[in-house]
């Protein structure tokens, strides 16, 4: 795709403004019309904005094709060096530094402006001048507010905030519409063309994406290039087949669909290329959209597209709530109206959409964030607005892309940061991702047959894990045709190895504790959640010395700023092979939740696994209907859909060696133990202990 030809009309509409803004910005470093310390800020960010304009011009003229790997690496370092950890303490991208240099009022606002200018990197590579122009004009307008001041008669903070508000508001129509379009339309093939047409053995291709490229992406791409063709095919086929099976096991018609959204992290292109070919063989055209970088569409809780490793996770963390500058009901309603109009405009493309196929990576060291008072935070009012927006957005999407007509799949592979021997670990993960479906299906059915007799399940920890939890199960009207637990093998959730349910809330009580668990980028230490009638009533962790800051981290990352959340899922993982592998290489604490949730009992807070699809039957391989698809909160959808969903689902797993017992407790008082001291003791499940003993 020639992006400059693709966006030609859009670019021509702003060409004059773009050139005027670029020319004006080029003058700023040579002027002395703004008092210190603000002059230094405007000089630095103007130089960066000018660099983006220069980069866009070079790329349009075909510079990339002639650039050497060394030149591309130097450019990448130049573009991202300012926010890398070694320079971040003196970067205007750091709200704390900006506040220290520019004052508590203006510093965080001007730091935000700089982050929006940084979005121009991806725009330059994608050939989009309107977004670059909008950010340039916001910079010039704020610069004008400071011009001619003497340091004592500075502009009012509200004047600066107003410029930023209108910068966001005025371009919402364009940016939000494009975001919806990219997620649904096969027309936008920027990333797909790189993946399918570039020479992937020439690692220069990675820099075409316009993302930060670390040694990890280079190493991972190099490693995948070294794998045999049959290995790459096997990886891709497992991923594609998992997606196809998702439709099959859910009884949904894949033949009606034409597109699938591939979400992945850069460095995996040799495998992704084979996956594109695999999806096309089953009649699906893969879509690729970049994870949003601008605050307008960025989600602080997840990355919903393709992306690269972060140049600095603290930078991301510091700016996660920049939307506090403008978020309110007016912006919420405007975004939703644009989304609704876009979905109506692209309703045919929406009808083609089969769902997301996700490839995750793992292996990075845990991130311990620093909470800074200079960073923006959502007010209580804004938190309610965001929750309302998320709920209404999900309803809108479900109207045009019904949940009951789509599926998904998720698979994960290690990054080089996992350590040595990286090649061995990678091959072990491939093996775990391709374990025998039929073997686990039969083993897990034995487990379900016992669990279906239970009134509740009791989980207790040991050796410092103080878990003491009782999970209430739904009553079965007809055990011959109904089940409480889904038999989850290798389809949507790879690797295989769990049985799960949506518990009843009333009667689910106690303490959930885990010594260490990764949730997203964060490693939580001694995490505790207290449940009362299925709702989280308190929580804590030991990540920070300040208990209040630790609670704040749990509230933001796990509770997603909700006051309370229901338990949405209870599961028992059976993939002891994965656990033994993790223990063998000393990487249990580096494995992603996708694998870890198969390595012991896990619990999710938030929505159930069946949110928005509770009323559609789901059957296990044995033909029984899985009836535990809702709880007392999600049942409220019939009366008040806004009260039924939370737009989050966060898994937390207790590893086998922290378990004293898991027992199915029957109404008659009988107690059938499933796990004792980290080993399966239920008759018929002895095979699952073999990897644990061998490991």
Sequential DSSP letters for 577-645: HHHHHHHHTT-GGGS-HHHHTTSSEEEEEES-TTTT-TTS--B-TTS-EE-----TTGGGGGT-GGGT-
- The pLDDT score that the predictor gives to residue 593 is 83
Q: Measured between alpha carbons, how far is 490 from 246 in angstroms, rounded to an integer?
A: 9
- The pLDDT score that the predictor gives to residue 438 is 84
pTM score of the predicted model? 0.89
Q: Measured between alpha carbons, how far is 545 from 553 in angstroms, rounded to an integer?
A: 12
- The pLDDT score that the predictor gives to residue 490 is 60
Residue for token pair 């649904």: 184
What's the total number of domains in the chain? 3
- The pLDDT score that the predictor gives to residue 69 is 96
Assess whether 383 and 283 both reside in one domain.
Answer: yes
Cβ atoms of 286 and 353 closer than 8 Å: no
Assess whether 311 and 445 both reside in one domain.
Answer: no
- The pLDDT score that the predictor gives to residue 488 is 84
Assess whether 148 and 191 both reside in one domain.
Answer: no
Q: Name which of 583, 220, 575 is nearest 414 in CA terms.
A: 220
Positions of the chain with pLDDT lower than 50, given as ranges:
none
Domain annotation covers residue 420: no
Please tell me the number of Cα atoms within 13 Å of 615 on its side-chain side: 7
Assess whether 58 and 191 both reside in one domain.
Answer: no
Assess whether 303 and 344 both reside in one domain.
Answer: yes
Assess whether 606 and 482 both reside in one domain.
Answer: yes
Q: Measured between alpha carbons, how far is 121 from 113 in angstroms, rounded to an integer?
A: 14
Q: Measured between alpha carbons, how far is 395 from 390 in angstroms, rounded to an integer?
A: 9
Domain annotation covers residue 421: no
Q: Name which of 534, 201, 585, 202 is nearest 363 in CA terms.
A: 585
- The pLDDT score that the predictor gives to residue 496 is 87
Q: pLDDT digits over 273-328, tens only?
A: 999 999 999 999 999 999 999 999 998 888 889 999 999 999 999 999 999 999 99
Assess whether 544 and 669 both reside in one domain.
Answer: yes
Cβ atoms of 674 and 450 closer than 8 Å: yes
- The pLDDT score that the predictor gives to residue 151 is 63
- The pLDDT score that the predictor gives to residue 641 is 87
Assess whether 319 and 282 both reside in one domain.
Answer: yes
- Which tokens hold the place of 666? 């029957």
Domain annotation covers residue 466: yes
Domain that holds residue 274: 181-411
Cβ atoms of 239 and 359 closer than 8 Å: yes
Dihedrals phi, psi of 603, to nearest 5 degrees: -135, 135
Q: In a 3-state reduction of DSSP, which class is residue 534? A: coil
Domain annotation covers residue 121: yes
Q: In a 3-state reduction of DSSP, which class is residue 94? A: coil
Domain annotation covers residue 557: yes
- Which tokens hold the place of 294? 């601008």
Residue for token pair 């006051």: 563
Cβ atoms of 665 and 671 closer than 8 Å: yes
Assess whether 360 and 283 both reside in one domain.
Answer: yes
């Amino acid at each position: 795709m020639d992006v400059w030809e693709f966006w030609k009309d859009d670019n021509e509409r702003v060409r004059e403004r773009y050139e005027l803004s670029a020319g004006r910005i080029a003058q700023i470093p040579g002027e002395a019309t703004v008092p210190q310390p603000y002059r230094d800020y405007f000089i630095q960010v103007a130089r960066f904005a000018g660099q983006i304009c220069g980069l866009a011009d070079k790329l349009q003229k075909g510079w990339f094709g002639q650039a050497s790997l060394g030149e591309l690496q130097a450019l990448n370092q130049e573009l991202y060096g300012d926010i890398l950890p070694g320079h971040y303490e003196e970067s205007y991208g750091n709200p704390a530094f900006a506040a220290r240099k520019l004052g508590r009022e203006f510093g965080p606002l001007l730091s935000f402006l700089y982050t929006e200018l940084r979005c121009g990197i991806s725009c330059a590579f994608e050939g989009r001048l309107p977004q670059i122009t909008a950010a340039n004009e916001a910079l010039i307008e704020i610069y004008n507010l400071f011009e001619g001041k003497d340091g004592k008669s500075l502009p009012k903070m509200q004047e600066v905030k107003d410029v930023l508000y209108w910068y966001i508001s005025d371009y919402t129509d364009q940016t939000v519409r494009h975001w919806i379009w990219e997620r649904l339309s096969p027309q936008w093939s920027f990333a797909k063309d790189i993946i399918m047409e570039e020479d992937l053995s020439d690692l220069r291709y990675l820099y075409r994406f316009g993302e930060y490229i670390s040694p990890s992406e280079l190493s991972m791409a190099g490693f995948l290039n070294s794998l045999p063709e049959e290995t790459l095919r096997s990886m891709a086929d497992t991923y594609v087949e998992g997606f196809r099976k998702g439709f099959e096991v859910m009884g949904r018609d894949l033949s009606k669909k034409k597109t699938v959204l591939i979400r992945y992290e850069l460095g995996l292109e040799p495998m992704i290329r084979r996956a594109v070919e695999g999806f096309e063989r089953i009649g699906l055209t893969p879509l690729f959209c970049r994870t949003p970088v601008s605050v307008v569409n960025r989600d602080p809780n997840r990355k919903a597209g393709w992306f690269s490793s972060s140049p600095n996770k603290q930078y991301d963390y510091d700016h996660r709530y920049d939307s506090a500058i403008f978020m309110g009901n007016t912006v919420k309603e405007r975004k939703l109206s644009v989304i609704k109009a876009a979905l109506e405009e692209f309703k045919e493309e929406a009808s083609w959409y089969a769902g997301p196929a996700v490839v995750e990576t793992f292996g990075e060291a845990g991130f311990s964030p620093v909470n800074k008072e200079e960073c923006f935070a959502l007010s209580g009012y804004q938190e309610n607005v965001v929750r309302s927006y998320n709920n209404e957005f999900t309803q809108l999407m479900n109207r045009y892309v019904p949940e009951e007509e789509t599926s998904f799949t998720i698979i994960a592979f290690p990054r080089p940061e996992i350590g040595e021997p990286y090649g061995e670990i990678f091959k072990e993960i491939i093996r775990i991702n391709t374990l025998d479906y039929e073997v686990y299906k039969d083993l897990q059915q034995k487990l379900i047959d016992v669990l279906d007799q239970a009134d509740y399940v009791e989980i207790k920890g040991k050796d410092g894990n103080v878990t003491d939890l009782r999970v209430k199960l739904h009553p079965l009207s007809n055990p011959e045709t109904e089940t409480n637990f889904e038999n989850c093998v290798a389809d949507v959730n790879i690797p295989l190895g769990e049985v799960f349910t949506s518990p009843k809330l009333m009667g689910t009580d106690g303490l959930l504790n885990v010594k260490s668990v990764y949730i997203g980028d964060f490693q939580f230490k001694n995490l505790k959640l207290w449940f009362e009638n299925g709702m989280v009533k308190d929580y804590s962790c030991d990540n920070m010395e300040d208990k209040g800051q630790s609670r704040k981290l749990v509230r933001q990352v796990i509770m997603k700023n909700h006051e309370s959340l229901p338990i949405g899922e209870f599961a028992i993982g059976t993939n002891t092979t994965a656990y033994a592998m993790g223990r063998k290489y000393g990487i249990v604490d580096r494995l992603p939740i996708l694998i870890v949730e198969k390595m012991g009992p896990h619990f999710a807070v938030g929505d159930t696994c069946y949110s928005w699809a509770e009323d559609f039957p789901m059957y296990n391989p044995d033909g029984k209907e899985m009836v535990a698809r809702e709880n007392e909160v999600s049942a409220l959808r019939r009366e008040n859909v806004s009260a039924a969903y939370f737009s989050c689902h966060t898994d937390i797993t207790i590893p086998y060696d922290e378990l004293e017992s898991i027992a199915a407790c029957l109404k008659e008082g009988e107690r059938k133990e499933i796990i004792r001291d980290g080993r399966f003791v239920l008759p018929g499940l002895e095979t699952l202990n073999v990897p644990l003993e061998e490991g």
